[in-house]
Amino acid sequence: MTLPDTEVLQWPLPAGEHGTPPPLYATLRRERPVCPLRMPSGHTTWLLTRYDDITDVLTDPRFSRNLVYPGAPRLIGEDFNSVPGGIFNLDPPRHTRVRQILNPLFNRGAAERSSGDIAAHADDLLAAMATGSNPTDLVDAYTAPLALRVSCGLLRIAADRRQALHGFFREQTSQNADRADVSAATERIGTLAAEIIADKWSDPDPAEPIGALVAAHQADEITSDELHGTVSYLLVTGVEPLVSSLSTGIVTLLRHPDELRAVRDDPRLWPAVVEELLRLHHNGYLSNPRVALEDTEIRGVPIRAGETVVTPMIAATWDPDHYRNPHRFDIHRRTDGSRTFGAGPHFCLGASLARAHLRIAFETLFTRFPTLILAINADELPWDEDNLFTRPLALPVAW
C-alpha cells in the first residue's frame, strides 16, 4: 500500500488481529514516518511510527506534556489530559517534584512488597472461578476484578468507590463518546478524588500514594492542583491498562501452545514471557500528545511551535530495525519490554508494579488451570473497538 503525501489520516485506524497494532503502522514506518493524523476531537497531530523518532521526542525537553492551556489539543475531549496539576500534564521541574514523592511507593521494592497481596487476590478469584460455571468469561471472573482489587489495596480505598471511577475512566477514554460525556466523566472523577482526599486529610499515611501526596501538600511541597490532579490520575490508571495487558496476553498465550508449554515446563521463563507480551501488546495503539515548544523538524518534516505529535509505544516496539520479526511472539528474545513504558521523564511510574502484576497473574492462572483453553475460536473473540485501551470485551475460557 502506498499513501499519498498529502493524505491526512483519521483516527481510529483499523486495528490488527488479536490485539496487534494497526497494519497501517508498517506502511507509515516505511513511507511516511511523520504523518498527519486527525483525532476524534477534530485536532490534527503528527503521528510517529519509528522507534528512534519516538524515543527522541520522549526524551526531548522541546516537547511538552503540559496540555492544560486554553485551546490545547485533545484526543477526544476534556479527558485526563485536561486536568491541571496531574503528573501526566507536568514538565520538569514540577513533574520531578511530584514524582519524587511517589517513586518509593511504585519502585521495584514496592512491587516486591505488593507481590504477596497480588498473589492472594489471584488465588481467591481463581478459587471462586473453579467452583463456578465452566466455561466462563475470564475478564469478568479474573482479569478485571484482580486489577480492581490490587489498585484498591495499593491506594487504600473502598472497592465500591473505585468501581465507579473505573466506569468514568472508560467513558473518558471512549473513542466514540460525545465530548460532553467525556467532560462530565472527568468532572466526576475530580469530585471523587476530592472526596477521597478529604477522607484522608486528618490522618494521611505517607506509606500509601494518596496519603503521601496529601502529606506533601500539607507540608507545602506540592500545590493544591498537583495534589488533586495527581490523585485523579492515580485513581483512573491502575485498572484498565492492566485489564488490557493481562487479557490480551492470555489470548496470545492460548494462541501459542508451544510457548505456553515451554513456560509451564520451566516457570523461570515467566519474566521473559511478560517482557515479550509487553513488547507485543502495548495496552493501546496511541499515546498522549506532546506539544512542540519551538519550531523543529523530524525527518525533514517541519514541526511548528504549538503543533503536537503522538508517539505510540506499540509502533516503536514493532519497528523491525530494532526487533527482528516483530510480529512473532518469541519468549526467547533477549530484548526487554521497557520501551512499552515510554522513555524520559514520563517513563511509566507503575512499570515495576505492572510487571509484578502480570507475572503473578499469568503464572497463578496457568498453574491453577493447566488445561485452560479458549471456549470459542480466537478469530471470534469480541474486541473493544471503542476504547483507547485494547482488549477483548469478553474472554470465554474452559478447562
pLDDT value, residue 298: 98
SS3 per residue for 27-71: HHHHHCCEEEEECCCCCEEEEECCHHHHHHHHCCCCEECCCCCCC
DSSP 17: G
pLDDT value, residue 1: 46
CA-CA-CA-CA torsion sign (95, 98, 101, 106): negative
Give the whole-number percent of the chain exceeding pLDDT 70. Answer: 97
pTM for the whole thing? 0.95
Confidence of residue 162 (pLDDT cuts 50, 70, 90): low
Phi–psi pair at 339, nearest 5 degrees: -65, -25
Instruction: Give residue-wise pLDDT tens across range 305-361.
Output: 999 999 999 999 999 999 999 999 999 988 778 899 999 999 999 999 999 999 999
Give the whole-number percent of the chain exceeding pLDDT 90. Answer: 80
Confidence of residue 3 (pLDDT cuts 50, 70, 90): low
**By the 8 A CB rule, do 322 and 51 touch?**
yes
Let me know if 257 is exposed, middle or buried by CB neighbors in 10 A (0-12, 13-18, 19+).
Answer: exposed
Confidence of residue 4 (pLDDT cuts 50, 70, 90): low
Instruction: Give residue-wise pLDDT tens across range 355-386.
Output: 999 999 999 999 999 999 999 999 999 999 88
- The mean pLDDT value of the chain amounts to 93
- Mean pLDDT (whole number) for 6-13: 90
pLDDT value, residue 287: 92
Residue 91 pairs with which residues in a beta bridge?
A: none
DSSP string for residues in 84-126: TT-GGG--TTHHHHHHHHHGGGTSHHHHHHHHHHHHHHHHHHH
- Do the bridges between strand 63-64 and strand 290-292 make them parallel or antiparallel, or are there none, so unpaired? antiparallel
Q: How many CB atoms lie within 10 A of CB 4?
A: 7
Q: How far apart are CA 192 and CA 176, in angstroms?
A: 24
pLDDT value, residue 381: 97
